[in-house]
């Protein structure tokens, strides 16, 4: 079957022998680690609202402020087309891109917990610099510190959650990262809605409050245990087994521990993890996890909506308050989507969520493009009914993304790499993700200006392509132990032709 995947866990090595109970210790570790998502989410939510605030624009971007109010009664696609303004948003993601490779070294040699602590510290510094910024240079420097924090956090947190979670509930646990990201976005939108009314320094409060999730993550991180996988990878076998017994709530962990040791022995022989990713046996993980999924996650167009929701709605003729309120509604849909995915992804599987949501997202983007083509432009304001329709369908789009490409874009890459390539693979995941996040952030407003409604039809075409990518190339990974996922490629209709016999046997040599 073309889109089929390997799901029979009976053919795996020792999966049926794994035992676990959900313990308070396990819950504490996962909740604290997942708080790293709130850093990413808060910044996603806060930056778009701040860039639409008059006080912020008057102080740093007076030409944009003048253009905005000169065309107050026009619904103009190009109101916010300013590359320095978009650099305020995208500079964070360029910084995250460059720091993720340093994060890979820390994550592999010092552990996942160390990267979480470094990330929260850098994010805290960036939030302070932005809150007290006096010029554009300070804004960009602050954004770079925030980006470094996200580079470390996004590199380590999905790995941490996937490695701590039992295979049968790994999907739900890993998606705590997406849930806290969504909650961070939602909280940021509520804060923007309130601070927009505090003149002239409300925007400083919005940016400065990012210190709160950073503080929570750092203080909690001090008490976090390291993952058993990382401890064993570092040669701390006895400590690794103790932590494994503690998080699984049982001493009957021989089968899982033996799998971790086998994977660690193979990892120890790899001197150049990034070079190892280029081997034939890792070709599926490289193409799907490190390149395809993180790139396509950004090309859905969803983050354009998250970055610039207030700006988009203002460009479409909404008032300032109505724009922020619409952004809050949109991001509430994102939280609901994350909860749906957490509840059902380990039951229905990753592929089902990708494909079902892909159809819905394609239809919505086409509907938005056609609506704008017919009802919007030439200085004519959109009607109230059309405005309500746009908010509703954008919410449907975000709801679909929130249960598919949003959480699964982090879950699937974090669970398919073998241990010896996991930190290097996750670095490339974050790097590719941040490259496309930065490009989308930097180019969306100018694309909106020049392509107009066509930008939404372009996203629809990309969604069609990425859904086909999942259908043909991604096997189902639900409930497959993380150290045995590599067996999927040997049973996949396409990848079994790529993965050589030598590659299959390397982990057992």
In SS3 terms, 217-234 reads as HHHHHHCCCCCHHHHHHC
pLDDT at res. 8 = 38
Q: Where do the CATH 1.20.1250.20 domains begin and end in the chain?
A: 22-225, 273-508
CATH of the domain spanning 22-225: 1.20.1250.20
Extract long-range pairs of 265-269: CB within 8 Å, 24+ residues apart: 266/418, 266/419, 266/420, 266/506, 266/507, 266/509, 267/233, 267/418, 267/419, 267/420, 268/233, 268/235, 268/420, 269/420
Helix (H, G, I), strand (E, B) or coil at 244: helix
User: What does the pLDDT read at residue 228?
Assistant: 94
What confidence score (pLDDT) does residue 15 get? 60
Q: Supply the pTM of this predicted model.
A: 0.77
What is the pLDDT at residue 120? 95
Q: Which two tokens stand for residue 234?
A: 């570092």
The predicted-structure confidence for 433-452, as pLDDT tens digits, reads as follows 888 988 887 787 777 778 88
**Tens digit of each residue's pLDDT (9 = 90 or more) over 283-316:** 999 999 989 999 999 899 887 776 666 666 766 6
Q: What stretches in the chain show pLDDT beneath 70?
A: 1-16, 70-81, 270, 306-312, 314-320, 323-324, 376-382, 500-509
490 CB-contact burial (10 Å; exposed 0-12 / middle 13-18 / buried 19+): middle
Give the residue from 482, 480, 484, 479 showing the smallest Cα distance to 504: 484
The top-level CATH class assigned to 273-508 is mainly alpha
Q: Which residue carries 């910024």 as its tokens? A: 133
pLDDT of residue 507: 43
Cβ atoms of residues 348 and 411 within 8 Å: no
Neighbours of 222 (CB within 10 A): 11
Q: Do the Cβ atoms of 119 and 151 come closer than 8 Å? A: yes
Q: What is the pLDDT of residue 3?
A: 40
pLDDT at 80: 63
Residue 83, Cβ neighbours under 10 Å: how many? 11
Nearest residue to 482 (alpha-carbon basis) of 153, 172, 246, 256: 256
């Amino acid at each position: 079957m073309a889109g089929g995947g390997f799901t029979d866990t009976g053919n795996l090595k020792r999966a049926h022998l794994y035992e676990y109970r959900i313990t308070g210790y396990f819950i504490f570790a996962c909740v604290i680690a997942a708080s790293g998502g709130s850093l990413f989410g808060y910044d996603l939510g806060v930056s778009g609202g701040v860039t639409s605030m008059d006080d912020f624009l008057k102080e740093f971007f007076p030409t944009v402020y003048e253009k905005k109010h000169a065309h107050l009664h026009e619904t103009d696609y190009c109101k916010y087309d300013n590359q320095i303004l978009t650099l305020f948003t995208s500079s964070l993601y360029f910084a995250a891109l460059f720091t993720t490779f340093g994060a890979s070294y820390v994550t592999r040699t010092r552990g996942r917990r160390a990267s979480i602590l470094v990330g929260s510290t850098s994010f805290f510094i960036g939030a302070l610099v932005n809150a007290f910024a006096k010029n554009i240079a300070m804004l960009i420097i602050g954004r770079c510190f925030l980006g470094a924090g996200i580079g470390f956090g996004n590199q380590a947190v999905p790995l941490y959650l996937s490695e701590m979670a039992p295979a049968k509930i790994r999907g739900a646990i890993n998606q705590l990262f997406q849930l806290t990201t969504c909650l961070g976005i939602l909280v940021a939108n509520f804060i923007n809605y309130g601070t927009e009314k505090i003149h002239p320094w409300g925007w400083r409060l919005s940016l400065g409050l990012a210190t709160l999730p950073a503080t929570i993550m750092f203080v909690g991180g001090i008490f976090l245990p390291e993952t058993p996988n990382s401890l064993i990878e570092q040669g701390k076998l006895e400590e690794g087994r103790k932590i494994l017994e503690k998080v699984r709530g049982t001493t009957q962990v021989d089968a899982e521990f033996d799998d971790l040791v086998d994977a660690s022995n193979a990892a120890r022989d790899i001197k150049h993890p990034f070079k190892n990713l280029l081997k034939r046996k890792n070709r599926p993980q490289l193409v799907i996890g490190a390149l395809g999924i993180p790139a396509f996650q950004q090309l859905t167009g969803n983050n354009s909506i998250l970055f610039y929701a207030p700006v988009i709605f203002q460009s479409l003729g909404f008032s300032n308050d109505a724009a922020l309120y619409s952004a809050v509604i949109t991001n509430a849909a994102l939280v609901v989507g994350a909860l749906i995915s957490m509840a059902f992804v380990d039951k229905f599987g990753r592929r089902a969520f990708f494909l079902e949501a892909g159809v819905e997202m394609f239809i919505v983007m086409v509907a938005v493009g056609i609506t704008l083509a017919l009802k919007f432009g030439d200085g004519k304001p959109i009607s109230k009914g059309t405005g309500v329709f746009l908010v509703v369908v954008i919410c449907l789009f975000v709801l679909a993304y929130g249960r598919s490409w949003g959480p699964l874009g982090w879950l699937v890459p974090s669970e398919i790499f073998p241990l010896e390539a996991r930190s290097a693979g996750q670095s490339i995941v974050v790097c590719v993700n941040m490259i496309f996040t930065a490009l989308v952030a930097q180019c969306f407003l100018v694309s909106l200006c020049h392509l107009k409604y066509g930008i939404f039809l372009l996203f629809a075409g990309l969604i069609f392509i990425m859904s086909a990518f999942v259908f043909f190339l991604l096997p189902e990974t639900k409930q497959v132990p993380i150290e045995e996922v590599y067996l999927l490629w040997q049973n996949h209709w396409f990848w079994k032709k790529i993965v050589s016999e030598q590659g299959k046997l390397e982990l057992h040599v």
